[in-house]
Amino acid sequence: MAYATISDLEAWLAPEPAPANAHRLLEEASDAIDGALTGAVYNPNDPDVLDILRRACVRQVHWMMDRGDETGAQNDLQSMSAGSRSFTRRTVGEGAGAAPKIAPRAVDVLRNSGLLTMQPWVVG
């Protein structure tokens, strides 16, 4: 179940409308937040916690929309060209798989609220 509704997302994106795939983005964003909160202790029925999760969720969706990579398939791209199709993947070693899976602003919401008390280490 997504932490935010399409109405929540539309309110955040205003005056821009929510995209046609908003429902799917909200589900994906909620999954990413769940991953970041692995090991965190909180009451998922607390209205304040639900508000924090909602705010983090819409920021996560906004970030996913800005990246234009809903599936994360391009997480390991170092560079990319559209004309004549040129892709460069990150190599093993420094920078490999370094793309974050959760938006920095979503992490800020979770950390500033006290829900996330450690720095998440997101790999790959």
What percent of the chain shows pLDDT beyond 70?
69
- For residue 117, the model assigns a pLDDT of 79
Half-sphere exposure of 44 (CA within 13 A, CB side): 8
Domain boundaries, the chain: 6-112
Round to whole Å and give the CA distance between 116 and 64. Answer: 20
pTM here is 0.75
pLDDT in tens, 34-89: 999 988 889 989 999 999 999 999 999 999 998 876 666 555 555 555 566 665 55
Please say if the pLDDT value at position 95 is more than 60.
no
Q: How many helices (H) and strands (E) does the chain have?
A: 4, 2
